[in-house]
Structure 1
Amino acid sequence: MWNYAQLWTGIAKADPKRPAQIFGDLTYSWGEFHQRSNALAVDMTKAGLSHQSKVALYLYNCPEYLEGTFGAWLGGYVPVNTNYRYGPEEILYLFDNSDAEAVIFHAVFTDLIEQVRNRLPLVKRWYMVADESGNALPSWAVDYTSVVSQVHDDLVPSTPLSGDDMLFLYTGGTTGMPKGVMWRQEDLLSVLGRGGNAVLQVAPGESVEELIARITPGDKGTIALIACPLMHGTGQFSAFITLAMGGCVLTMPNRNFDPAKLWETVEKDSVNSIVIVGQAFAGPLLESLDANPGKWNLSSVVQMGSSGVMWSQENKEGLLEHIPQMFITDSFGSSEAVGMGGSVAAKGVPAKTAQFALGPNCVVFTEEGTRVIPGSGERGLVAVGGAIPMGYYKDEVKSAQTFRIFEGLRWTVPGDWAEVNADGTLHLLGRGSVCINTGGEKVFPEEVEECVKTHVSVRDAVAVGIPDKRFGETICAVVEAEPGHEPDLGTLSDHVKSRLAAYKAPRNVVVVSTIGRAPNGKVDYKRLKKHAMDTLGVSE
């Protein structure tokens, strides 16, 4: 049986003193990681949570995030990621849709929670994690630190832990409103390598017991700096991979990305692996190194990895000039489909942008369900088989659209179009939908459009993605103005931010005489995107 709670508990018992998490000047050992998580599980059980109750993690990167995950799993509960950039209505939707019964939140979100708390009757316990905001503990919450400081005997859940215990990973905009991807722990451990790491030459384990037996007391283990948010799949899954090997996850206290601070941390803590999300991180990291050649000792770094967004060949080559001993891993996947493809770059052996080797369980199918022949130039939908999610929580319609049957087998088909090159590699073309991927955040255009159209100056609007070297894409609002009005970027951006997450606000506005909708109300996104790019002087 593959179960994270059992694996991590076994590692903690095998070597309780080895570091599990680093956060600024704080270091938590594996023993402390287990003790604090177990105390949380005990308290949630006392609060009335039952088998597979949902636990929402509304936190910035911090040790409490992974403690909340571990604690949920120890109790037989389901961790639920929460996008901390969401506005009140989005948070309400997510907590309600996930049936959250416990919420662990940073103090800075207290005021926002106050706006929606009374509409969430299922929540039995609110845990506040103190932060630099200085917000006082509200009467309806309990102090997280007081709870996890307690020492309890190991919790024995009323329902035994199993590989069927779940994790919910809520997606961004590609599915419309966020949907909870339901991962069984056994399947998740399988797709994340079962305690192995090819770059670090660590083989997958045959069982939880074998992985625990690999732990040598006194060893430090791999140190992975997770620079991207733990609330997203790339950060979260990378942390799970590290911890499954008995390693240590390092997160940084600063809320805004600071490349120089990251390199200082790599040197100070002898980091082995760095996890980012594409060009939005990699661009500033390279600029920092170029501006300060040789300033930091980066000899400990053996791997830098990213997943889910574009990462240019030129940037990879530049980073390898500064850190020639490391491997760069670039994975193509999503919340629903892990292991679709990947590339590895090393000094002198760069990987081309958007070119990936197909994963072992990955196939490209035509819409008719036949396999795309390598080198044919035919386009198809990328599909992943094997260990895949159970579906989307409480959404049978969308589940049926994404989790499909080809060749008599069940596949995840998230909507990515690709060609298969003659050598068998994957040439990614993009989503069939008009989803905008900005800095790793997936934004559904219709949500932005509907918000923009509520402004008094706007008659009609369309949101399109404009190519951007740092963020991959940025949002441009193509706007048809109401007579007598002149919509401007600042006003419309503030309007969107007042209702939606800030990253969904447009960074450019292009005013047109008419959106030019067809009689059925549909929009020619391709035409409007080209017009916006031409107006802004942007090329592909």
Structure 2
Amino acid sequence: MATARPATRPTIPTLTSSCRPTSSCATRAASRTDVLYNLVSIQEFLARHLGDREAIVWRDRVLTYADVARRSRRVGRALRRLGLGCRRERADLQPWESGQDHVAILAYNCPEWIELMYGAWKARAAFLNVNYRYKAEEMVHLLGTGEARAIVYHAAFAPLVAEVRRDLPLLRHLIQLPDDSGNALLPGAIDFEAWLAAESDEPLDLLYTPDDLYIIFTGGTTGMPKGVLWRHEDVYFNGLGGHIPGFERLDTEEKLLAHLSSGLGGRFLVAPPFMHGAGQWAAFNTFHRGGTVILPDETRRLDAHVLWRAVERHRVDQMTIVGDAFARPMLEALREGRYDVSSVRVIGSTAAVFSAGIKRELAALLPEGAMFIESVGATEAGLQAMSWDAAAGPGGQSAYQLRDNSVVLSDDSRRFLAPGTAEVGWLATKGHLPLGYLGDPERTRATFPVIDGVRYCLDGDRARFADDGRLVFLGRESMCINTGGEKVYAEEVERVVKSHPAVYDVLVVGTPSPRWGQQVTAVVSLRPGAALPTIADLRAHCAPHLADYKIPRAVLDAPEIVRSPSGKPDYAWAAEHARAFGGSHA
């Protein structure tokens, strides 16, 4: 049962009919109309110049850039009619505060996701991404801390919404998206299409500012999800295509128009769910290059055959996935050899380990010259580093090129580490960064410190430099295992264990050890017909690539490694599984 929240309703500031910018950067943008610093302004610009070009393709539906603009305007007007929008401007707020109303989205991938994101911004509200795997208590926590005043949800989730709404006094508006679940409209809820049909698709008479918020909740890999507050200007230049490495900043209409003519947009298959950043950022980057977002027919679960059918049918040339969680089943499906993948030239991956061995096997089945691009980043840091390596040696790690906004700091955060040093440090990012975490001043101050007069994001990721000066990403400090006084990073070990021929997937955790304090434990799922590797076998496999103390001292199997729909690992599950079932030990 969801935990009840107080039934009192807070006083709501009056919604202004036209929220005028009051901060210095907002005033600057208002006086320079050639500068694109708001995602609404960019979308409307795209609609004017690429009106009839395909923006989104899903099943038998095709939406042009003009269609997306018109339908998202209807969403914006409908939200304004509900009294939702901007209540306080950025200049009157602390970094961890939001002055905009929040609209939650609880839905599988579909074109309406895009319409709702843009539509919320066009009302000068902000959307909240909601994990559709959450149970009632988790949902109450996210929607409560996120201060959601409205929720748009697929009918399949109507029973869950009905369960949690009584514990969320701020949640006043329910908008239901049709699907094939057969669930009836909840009492007091609004049908999405009827809601839109009542509104005009003319542009809203509002002034949008660089300070308008893009809010995205973290995946909650190591704890409860946190709402990250990005200004539009910052998220655009950091991770949504406003400043691509090797290209100039797209900060004027002229530059953006020239970029749209470059042909980089292509036909981009977005495989991860929009409820996480990987899917959202892939879509917006595609739009900002003038490309077409292709959604697979099946979006409620990962079906690798459906992905390859979409590639073949729509002549997809680029796609984004989330590491091995997507790549392994895609490799198995492609081995059957039934799909025409001759159009594929780029597969991008982010947010999870993408093993060198899987890249090599995929490369053998893709057109010659197809490229793998890996990116390192975080919800609260944005894009930090990239790799164009197709493969390394067996069990090898990808090495990344740092973006010019990122550095590696020493353990005490007092020194910048230089290429050529083997010291492990903190991956840090400066420049266009989020304001902070919604409602959490302490975590905001801790994650975004000012060092030598420069504001950085230290999200807890560890890294070191390789001999050639490139970055070796080690993973989150909170997932670090302390064994016998040595630090072991789970992702580093997982990359090597995954290359064992018997292993299909793996998570590495620390478990109690009377001798070592913690020992490195591998929870593995096996390939069909494979036997669980012995400790001796696993040690022999890992020894060429890992120091002795990093090699797992315990291994146990699981029918399946638990991950989120976006491929994020569930380390809490892995630790509990390891405690419950023990496993073979060294």
TM (normalized to structure 1)? 0.79
Which AA in structure 2 matches 1:14?
H
How far has the Cα of 1:506 moved from its partner? 5.3
Aligned residue identity for 1:124:
R
- Report the CA distance shift for 1:183/1:465 in structure 2 as closer, same or farther (over 3 A): farther
**Which deviations, in whole Å up to 9, do the C-alpha atoms of 1:17-62 show, x marking residues without a partner?**
2111111121111121111111111010000112121111111111
User: 1:184 — aligned with what?
Assistant: 231
Of 300, 312, 336 in structure 2, the residue corresponding to residue 267 of structure 1 is 312
1:66 is matched with: 114
Q: Give the structure 1 partner of residue 471 of structure 2.
A: 426
Q: Give CA-to-partner distance per residue, 1:427-479, whole Å, 9 cap, x none.
A: 2222211388899xxx9x99xxxxxxxxxxxxxxx9997454799xxxxxxxx
Deviations, residues 291-350 of structure 1 (Å, cap 9, x unaligned): 32xx32222222111111111111111111122232111011111112221101359999
Secondary structure of residue in 2 paired with 1:183: strand
Aligned to 1:227: 271
Q: Which SS does the other structure have where 1:122 is aligned? A: coil
1:174: how far off? 4.9
Contact kept in structure 2, 1:17 and 1:30, CA below 8 Å: yes
**Following TM superposition, by how much is the alpha carbon of 1:367 offset from its aligned partner in structure 2, in angstroms?**
2.6
Partner of 2:218: 171
Residue pair 2:211, 2:233 contacting (<8 A) in 1 also = yes
The SS at the match of 1:381 is: strand
Give the match for residue 387 of structure 2: 343
Output the CA distance in 2 between the equivalents of 1:245 and 1:150: 32
Say whether residues 1:241 and 2:285 are aligned partners.
yes
Report the Cα distance in structure 1 between the residues aligned to 2:385 and 2:395, rounded to whole angstroms.
13
Tell me how far apart the structure 1 counterparts of residues 196 and 292 of structure 2 sit (CA, whole Å).
20
Distance 1:348 1:356, change over 3 A: closer
Q: Report the secondary structure of 1:84's partner residue.
A: coil
Paired AA for residue 390 in structure 1: L
Contact 1:304 1:328 in 2 (8 A): yes
| 1:42 aligns to 2:77 (yes or no) | yes
Are 1:54 and 2:102 counterparts?
yes
Matched, 1:332 2:376: yes
Asked if residue 122 in structure 1 is aligned to residue 170 in structure 2, the reply is yes
Residue equivalent to 1:304: 347
Q: Secondary structure at the match of 1:509?
A: helix
Deviation at residue 290 of structure 1 after TM alignment: 2.0
The answer on whether the counterparts of 1:223 and 1:273 sit within 8 Å (CA) in structure 2 is yes
Q: Which amino acid aligns with 2:361?
A: G
Query: Which residue does the alignment assign to 1:87?
Result: 135
Q: Is the 8 A contact 2:323 2:354 kept in 1?
A: yes
Which of 498, 509, 519 is 2:577 aligned to?
Answer: 509
What does residue range 366-445 of structure 1 map to in structure 2 within 5 Å?
A: 366-368=410-412, 369-434=414-479
Secondary structure, aligned partner of 2:478: coil
Q: 2:60 matched to which residue of 1?
A: 25
Q: Structure 2 length normalisation: TM-score?
A: 0.73
Matched to 1:509, the amino acid is: H
Q: Residue 40 of structure 1 aligns to a residue in which SS? A: helix
Question: How far does residue 502 in structure 1 lie from its aligned partner after superposition?
Answer: 9.4
Q: Residues 448-487 of structure 1 correspond to what in structure 2 (within 5 A)?
A: 466=522, 468=524
User: Which of 185, 204, 220 is equivalent to 1:156?
Assistant: 204
Which residue in 1 is equivalent to 2:92? none
Q: Would you say the 8 A contact 2:391–2:398 is kept in 1? A: no
1:221-277 deviation digits (Å, cap 9, x = unpaired): 522111111111111111110111222211223122111221111010111211100
Letter in 2 for 1:337: A
Question: What SS is found at the alignment partner of 1:123?
Answer: coil
For the residues of structure 1 that align with 2:222 and 2:286, how far apart are their CA atoms?
29
Asked if structure 1 preserves the Cα contact closer than 8 Å seen for 2:73 and 2:204, the reply is no
Task: Report the alpha carbon displacement of residue 183 of structure 1 after superposing the two structures with TM.
Answer: 0.8
One of 343, 350, 364 as aligned partner of 1:321: 364
User: 277-286 or 243-252, which moves further after superposition?
Assistant: 243-252
- Residue 502 to residue 25, structure 1, CA distance change in 2 (3 Å): farther
Instruction: For 1:139 and 1:167, locate their aligned partners in 2 and report how far apart those are by CA, in whole Å.
Output: 30
**Structure 1: how far apart are the matches of 2:220 and 2:134?**
12
Using the aligned pairs only, state the percent identity. Answer: 32
Unpaired runs of 5+ residues, structure 2, are 1-34, 87-99, 481-489, 496-506, 511-517, 528-556, 563-568
CA contact (8 A) 2:222 2:571 kept: no
1:408 to partner: Cα distance: 2.1
Matching residue of 1:75: 123
User: Do the aligned partners of 2:375 and 2:385 also contact (CA within 8 Å) in 1?
Assistant: yes
1:396 maps to a residue whose letter is: P
Pick one of 7, 26, 49 that aligns with 1:14.
Answer: 49
User: What amino acid is aligned across from residue 124 of structure 2 in structure 1?
Assistant: G
Question: Which is worse superposed, 171-180 or 393-402?
Answer: 171-180
CA distance in 2, matches of 1:468, 1:226: 28
What's the secondary structure of 2:287's corresponding residue? helix
In 2, Cα distance between equivalents of 1:195 and 1:402:
24
User: Aligned AA for 1:16?
Assistant: G
1:104 and 1:42, CA in 2 relative to 1: closer, same or farther beyond 3 A? same
Task: Mark the runs of 5 or more structure 1 residues left unpaired by the alignment.
Answer: 447-461, 472-488, 495-500, 513-530
Post-superposition shift, 1:147?
2.2
Give the counterpart letter for 1:154 in structure 2.
E
Give yes or no for contact 2:219–2:276 (8 Å, CA) kept in 1: no
Q: Does structure 1 conserve the Cα–Cα contact (< 8 Å) formed by 2:389 and 2:398?
A: no
Q: Secondary structure at the match of 2:400?
A: strand
2:479 aligned counterpart, secondary structure: coil
Quick one: distance in 2 between partners of 1:34 and 1:4?
A: 12
- Contact 2:359 2:391 (C-alpha < 8 Å) held by counterparts: no
Aligned partner (choices 394, 405, 416) of residue 361 of structure 1 = 405
RMSD: 3.5
Q: Which amino acid aligns with 1:410?
A: R
